[in-house]
Structure 1
Amino acid sequence: MWTVAAVTDTYLPTVNGVSYTVRTWRERWRRRGGEMPVVYPATAARSPDPGECPVPSVPFPFYTGFRIAAPTVPGSVRERGPDVVHAHTPFALGIAGRRLAAALEVPFVVSYHTPAAEYAGYLSDALEGPIRRIADGYERLFLSGADAVIAPSRDAAESLRANGTPTHVVSNGVDTERFRPVDDGTVRAFERRYGLLDRPLIGYTGRHGHEKRLGDVLDATADVDAAVVFAGDGPARPGLERRAAGRDDVSFLGFLDRSELPAFYSALDAFVFPSPVETQGLVALEAIACGTPVVAAAAGALTETVIDGETGTHFPPGDTAALEGAIERTLRGSERLPTRLEERRRRLCVDRSIDDLEAVYESVLE
């Protein structure tokens, strides 16, 4: 098997889909006999595991939890002589990865996880439009230098093909060894530990970004007979907590340990995901793998991640009345997903994603 140098500007302990995808892919790639050293921004909050290669970094002032890394790759990674360099972000370390691939004359692969323009609003409200245009142009330029581009969904791939960028669809996949329905006793213990109300429960976990439109969940549930629970963190959380002040049916749990997430998903009667900008929506896949239906915005990759009447319900993004109706229909319609859950879990399994990833590497090496 090949050695693949993975470079990413976001990694643990930052909690998001990119961090967990890189970590999971690395673990599964190593199971197959390959190596995948990961280059990421160093932080005092986390000591590297073997094969993880931090580089000096400083906090990003506009987005809590993100860091700006020095655009360099450690010599230990160069010395391994990677067969492929795989960038998961287009920023400082993505640039360093591109330089490394050119210096070693090996293929350069890029994953398209999040549109760079989605971060424009964090830099300046007044200049958001021009910053978005600059980000879009830079992203096209960065992707054009890759030997292969990987998108996690057909929707994301189509948006790239419109710009003439050759792409391969490789789902991020779900660690179905971890994400599975848990027993009632484990769910009850989780609910007691966090003081969750004994009533229908809807919730969300993940990054609390403004673009996720999590405030729509608060607006849509004001008159719904259910408790609302948010796990995770991010820059939108303080505003959400202010909006929820005085509501005893809303809880904020903060970051949960990864080991607690299956119980979190299994405790929910509905996972609510109002974001219109997802390239896949890993947390929606995790919820489905745990047997929990998803109420999702009918936009972006969530139109294919969630199947109406099977794995959840869609609503028009930004329409809080429609979101309220979708939540109520989901709560009335089913306690758990239909009996084909195991079939769906097999389709979601990250091992299928690694099969597809291996095929992409093989294509660029040939």
Structure 2
Amino acid sequence: MSGRNSASTPPAVAAFTDTYLPTVNGVTYTISAWRDRWNTRGSRMDVVYPRSSYEPDDGEHPVTSVPFPFYDGYRLGLPQLPDAVRDVDVVHAHTPFLLGLSADRLARRESVPLVVSYHTPTAEYAEYLVPSWASSAVASLSRQYESWFLDRADLVLTPSAATASDVRRLTDAPVETHSNGVDVEFFRPTDSASFIRRHSIPDDRPIVGYTGRHGYEKNLDAIFEATADLDVTVVLAGDGPARESLEETAAALDVDAIFLGFLERENLPAFYSTLDVFAFPSPVETQGLVALEANACGTPVVAVDSGALSATVEDGITGYHFGPGDVAGFRNQIERALKNGDSLSQSCLDRRSEISLEMSMDRLEDTYERLLSSTDES
């Protein structure tokens, strides 16, 4: 049962995830940042994750894992409950897979609320992960499984209103929007001169870029198609299965492109500050955290008007939108953002507090407390 001692102490939380350090993505950063900030509030947020090369700190509990056969670099944790994970007030699942089932088991064993964060629409990824002839069936099965799992939650959190609307069609559980938040103390405008020199990036023309996983589902080819006729340098950071294809596309279109590969996290503020425009054509984002990180560094974003990015980017304030599949529109909005860069950059900086990690943590604490109060009353 709960190990909580004081109403003034934030609830003790056990978080379960199938993606964690050293893997680099928005979910990993969110969980790691939440855990660090939660612990500084005088409580604890334990994390159960698939065993990897990462060496755990106190409160981080690796379990036996196996490679995920359809997505290189990812591992699935087997459904285990480490003995040290006990006496918690709330269980928070960041995955619907096997470790999500472990989270559900712990919540029921401890008779505490189960919160589920919906980070990734697994059904939408099906066509990229399995042969085309099987994608429809796999997507249907994915939706059925997600629906079953989400129905077991006391509350489902989604990082955007658009995702919340989609998830409400999957489950009868309560669904609320909760932004993951950005560490605005870390992501801020940074002098990028040394970064530009170190990576031999030309500084005689505007720079358009992107960072994140190079996955086929993210439609990153569109960046090169949109910039093919522009006098810009395109800089991509990150890596993934689509990188070789992207390099071939850039070469075929004769785009001045630089592929930086994986960047250590401490280099990201300088990377964002180097860019004049962050280009984001991915239609499968549940929030698009990198767009908010770019904005926190004063960099406007040109994003596809689809899914979460329709709201994550404020049109005319923190960037612009273009229609799905509209390469000409993408190009026009990049040019527009370059023209209005100074005013957009200032608007981005003016909204830093609205996207901050601290605000996200305050809301998360309130959400947990509300759940616990309703549980006590029942």
Residue equivalent to 2:46? 37
Percent identity for Structure 1 against Structure 2: 55
- What residue number does 2:83 align with? 75
Partner letter of residue 313 of structure 1? Y
Q: In structure 2, what is the equivalent of residue 21 of structure 1?
A: 30
For 2:355 and 2:84, how far apart are their aligned partners in 1? 34
Is 1:250 the equivalent of 2:260? no
Residues 101-140 of structure 1 correspond to what in structure 2 (within 5 A)?
A: 101-121=107-127, 122-140=129-147
Offset from partner CA, 1:195-227 (integer Å, 9 cap, x none): 112221000001112111001111111111101
User: How far apart, in 2, do the equivalents of 1:125 and 1:205 lie?
Assistant: 28
The Cα shift of 1:190 comes to: 0.2
d(CA) in 1 for partners of 2:124, 2:169:
18
Give the Cα–Cα distance (whole angstroms) in 2 for the partners of residues 280 and 318 of structure 1.
Answer: 20
Report how far residue 270 of structure 1 moved: 0.1
Q: Give the drift of 1:323.
A: 0.7
How far 1:340 sits from its partner (Å)? 4.2
Secondary structure of 2:48 counterpart: strand
- What's the CA shift for 1:116? 1.4
User: Separation in 2 of the partners of 1:229 and 1:354?
Assistant: 33
Is 1:85–1:106's contact at 8 Å kept on the other side of the alignment?
yes
For residues 334-356 of structure 1, give each alpha carbon's deviation from its aligned partner in whole angstroms, at most 9, with x where no partner exists.
24635344430000101111111
CA distance 1:291–1:336, change in 2 (3 Å):
farther
What stretches of structure 1 of length at least 5 have no aligned partner? none
Provide the rounded CA distance (Å) in 2 between the counterparts of 1:227 and 1:335.
19
Structure 2 CA distance for aligned equivalents of residues 182 and 188 of structure 1: 9
Please say if residues 275 and 317 of structure 1, whose CA atoms lie closer than 8 Å, have aligned partners that are also in contact: no
2:153 match: secondary structure: coil
Q: Show the counterpart of 1:207.
A: 213
Instruction: Name the counterpart of 2:314.
Output: 307
Letter in 2 for 1:267: T
CA distance in 2 between counterparts of 1:236 and 1:50 reads: 36
The residue number in structure 2 matching 1:88 is: 94
1:304 Cα deviation from its structure 2 partner: 1.0
Q: AA paired with 1:149? A: V
Question: What is the alpha-carbon distance in structure 2 between the residues aligned to residue 216 and residue 304 of structure 1?
Answer: 20
Structure 2 stretches lacking a partner, 5+ long: 1-9, 374-378
CA contact (8 A) 2:21 2:28 kept: yes
Distance of 1:224 and 1:108 partners within structure 2: 50
Whole-Å separation in 2 of the counterparts to 1:106 and 1:359: 16
TM superposition shift of 1:255:
1.1
Task: Name the counterpart of 2:202.
Answer: 197
User: 1:175 is matched with which residue?
Assistant: 183
The equivalent of 1:165 in structure 2 is: 173
Matches within 5 A, 1:276-355: 276-335=283-342, 337-355=344-362
Match of 1:353, SS state, is helix
CA RMSD of aligned residues (A): 1.4
CA contact 1:168–1:360 (8 Å) conserved in 2: no
In the TM superposition, residue 95 of structure 1 has moved relative to its aligned partner by: 1.0
* 1:97 paired residue number: 103
Contact 1:230-1:252 within 8 A present in 2 as well: yes
Q: Secondary structure at the match of 2:150?
A: helix
Q: How many residues align?
A: 360
Q: Is the 8 A contact 1:150 1:167 kept in 2?
A: yes
- SS of the residue corresponding to residue 244 of structure 1 reads helix
Partner of 1:9: 18
- Choose 203-212 or 117-126, whichever is displaced more: 117-126
Structure-2 change in CA distance of 1:242 and 1:339 (3 Å):
closer
**How far apart are 1:82 and its partner, in Å?**
1.0
2:238 to 232, 251, 266: 232
Alignment-mate amino acid for residue 83 of structure 1: D
> Separation in 1 of the partners of 2:64 and 2:325?
40
Partners of 1:316 and 1:165 in 2: how far apart? 32
Structure 1 contact 280–302 (Cα < 8 Å) conserved: yes
Q: Check conservation: 2:299, 2:348, Cα contact below 8 A.
A: no
Say whether 1:56 aligns with 2:61.
Answer: no
SS in 1 for 2:193: helix
CA distance in 2 between counterparts of 1:4 and 1:206 reads 29
TM-score (norm 2): 0.92
The one-letter code matched in structure 2 to 1:15 is V
TM-score scaled to structure 1, two decimals? 0.95
- Aligned residue for 2:6? none
Structure 2: distance between partners of 1:251 and 1:95 = 42
Structure 1 residues 133-152: aligned runs within 5 Å: 133-152=140-159
Task: Give 1:281 deviation, angstroms.
Answer: 0.4
**Paired position in structure 2 for 1:218:** 224
Are the aligned partners of 1:197 and 1:249 in contact in 2 as well (CA < 8 Å)?
no
